[in-house]
Amino acid sequence: MNHKTLIFIAVIFTSFFNCKNTDHIEPEINLSGKKFEYNYGDFVYEIVFKSNSSLEWNCTQGEDKGKNGIEKYSFQKLDKNLFFISWIEKDGLGVSQVVNFKENKINTFLKQEKEIISLSGTIRELK
């Protein structure tokens, strides 16, 4: 093997291991300014993340249809597409959610007084 061939092989070898495959990279999720539908089957809510600390919710289907509120929320990013979101509504209802934006799934725990209610559903982004 001549000197030029060895250099060519070294360049290809180095390029192969330094190359990053970007086909699987997913964009980071930013909640602020986004609107989602949370569908729990019997209950459907529209959630608008007005900022990184304020959201507006509106029940569009179910026995609480028409109820709404603007709440301060906290969140923690667990992974690129997985969030823990929590807030306390004006009537004292505590809401804690694990939202998986990759799989479009949501798991919610509602705490009212000494009772905890667990809900599972799907989410979709609204335009």
Give this prediction's pTM.
Answer: 0.75
pLDDT number for residue 6: 47
Bridge partner residues of 2 (DSSP):
none
- Average pLDDT of the segment spanning 77-94: 94
Question: What is the residue whose two structure tokens read 């291991």?
Answer: 17
Q: Is 31 a residue whose pLDDT tops 80? A: yes
Domain layout of the chain by residue ranges: 31-126
DSSP for 17-58? HH----TT--PPP--TT-EEEEE-SS-EEEEEE-SSSEEEEE
- Average pLDDT of the segment spanning 24-47: 85
Question: What is the residue whose two structure tokens read 């989410």?
Answer: 123
Q: Is 13 a residue whose pLDDT tops 50? A: no
Q: Is 107 a residue whose pLDDT tops 60? A: yes
Type and span of the H or E element at 3: helix 3-18
Which carries the bigger pLDDT value, residue 60 or residue 26? 60
Specify whether domain 31-126 bears CATH 2.40.128.20: yes
Least confident of 3-7, 27-31, 71-75, 87-91: 3-7
- The half-sphere exposure of 81 on its side-chain side, counting CA atoms within 13 A, is 11
Cα–Cα distance for residue pair 78/99, rounded to 1 Å? 10
Cα–Cα distance for residue pair 106/57, rounded to 1 Å? 15
Q: Is 3 a residue whose pLDDT tops 80? A: no
